[in-house]
Amino acid sequence: MKYSAVACVALVAAATAQPRHGNHKHHHVRNVNVPRDIVTIHELVTKTIYVTEVIDEDATSWIFGNEAKTKPTPVVSESKPQGNFYETPSPVAEAPQSSASSKAAPPPPPPPPPPPPPPPPPPAVPTTTTSVYVPPPAPTTTSIYVAPAPAEPLPPPPPPPPAPAPEPHTSSVYSSGDQGDNGGAGSTQYKGEITFYDIGLGACGIDHTGQDTLESVVALSHLIMGEKSNGNPLCGKTITISANGKTATATVVDKCMGCAKEDIDVSRKVFLELFGSLDGGRLNVVWWFS
């Protein structure tokens, strides 16, 4: 900027130094280089020159594309030799370019960039279904005690038959070695209770084990058999039993230690022949020696 101001001052001084030709409209430029007489004319010219000087100005230029930055063209004043004065047409001083014009107008700010596209949604994570077997709860067993129904009371046993009227014959007590009327046919009848037992080796020395439903045998009371076992005269004797409208025979093979005098204990075969079942337990019978 300093050089531009100096150039402007030099041009103005050169213009004021030119001679005035009055109001001539046309200037004769012929023989302009012919030396003339030097005429010194002193004129006082007062001019006010405003010089704008910008010092240390920082400017920011925007350059886009291939646009070249415009620089002001410096004006170089030509030095002329002093001595002769030549009337030459005053060159038109080139106005210095304004520093503002050398600067391109800043372009409008670029539009804001479009917002970035939203990120794609994350890929769906495949859900894995896992079946877990849950065993059913174990059944709970609850034991409930159910009291059995009260058993029906057994019917009371029938009243024992009235004792028979005393008979005129002798006592039926058996004495060892003497049968009396007990061992013969048509002897005295005995009225007592009948039961059954598991037969085996009896007091008479005969083994009938496992033959409960095959053999018809009987055990008489020890009060009739006496103390003798093997070789007892009543062993092998046969008695007839009457009950329930039926009769059955049995062979004496054993001695009943828990029987009353006129009670008898028989095998299952004899009991079934008289009553058809073993449910009776203890029943009344009449028996005698055959």
Q: In the predicted model, is pLDDT for residue 171 greater than 70?
A: no
Q: What is the pLDDT of residues 176-208, one digit of tens each?
A: 333 434 454 456 899 999 999 999 999 999 999
- Looking at residue 184, its pLDDT comes to 46
Band (268; pLDDT cuts 50, 70, 90) = very high
- Looking at residue 44, its pLDDT comes to 76
- Looking at residue 96, its pLDDT comes to 47
Question: With contact defined as beta carbons under 8 Å apart, do 99 and 54 qualify?
Answer: yes
- Looking at residue 58, its pLDDT comes to 58
| Residues with Cβ within 8 Å of residue 193, at least 6 apart in sequence | 260, 263, 282, 283, 284, 285
Residue with tokens 């009449």: 286
- Looking at residue 236, its pLDDT comes to 93
- Looking at residue 181, its pLDDT comes to 41
Write out the DSSP string of 106-131. PPPPPPPPPPPPPPPPPPPPPPPP--
Q: Which two tokens stand for residue 257?
A: 């230690």
Band (274; pLDDT cuts 50, 70, 90) = very high
CA distance 47 to 51: 12
What's this model's pTM, rounded to 2 decimal places?
0.39
Q: What is the pLDDT of residues 211-260, one digit of tens each?
A: 999 999 999 999 999 988 888 999 999 999 999 999 999 999 999 999 99
CA distance 103 to 60: 8
Residue 11: name the closest of 97, 71, 94 by CA.
94
Please report, rounded to a whole number, the percentage of residues in the chain having pLDDT higher than 90.
29
Residue 263: name the closest of 160, 171, 133 by CA.
160
In whole angstroms, how far apart are CA 32 and each of 36, 77, 82? 9, 21, 17
Q: What is the pLDDT of residues 23-56, one digit of tens each?
A: 545 444 555 555 666 777 777 777 777 766 666 6
Q: 57-63, long-range: CB within 8 Å, 24+ apart, which pairs? A: 57/1, 57/99, 59/99, 59/103, 61/103, 61/104, 62/104, 62/106, 62/107, 63/104
Max mean pLDDT among 56-60, 83-87, 123-127, 217-221 falls in 217-221
Task: Give Cα 214 to chain centroid, integer Å.
Answer: 71
Q: What is the pLDDT of residues 131-153, one digit of tens each?
A: 666 777 776 666 666 666 656 65
Higher pLDDT, 87 or 273: 273
| Residues with Cβ within 8 Å of residue 142, at least 6 apart in sequence | none
Max mean pLDDT among 82-86, 110-114, 164-168, 246-250 falls in 246-250
Beta strands 283-289 and 264-266 are unpaired
Residue 234: name the closest of 250, 212, 257, 211 by CA.
250
Structural domains in the chain, CATH included, are 1-20+31-107 (no CATH), 190-289 (2.40.40.10)
Amino acid letter for position 128 = T
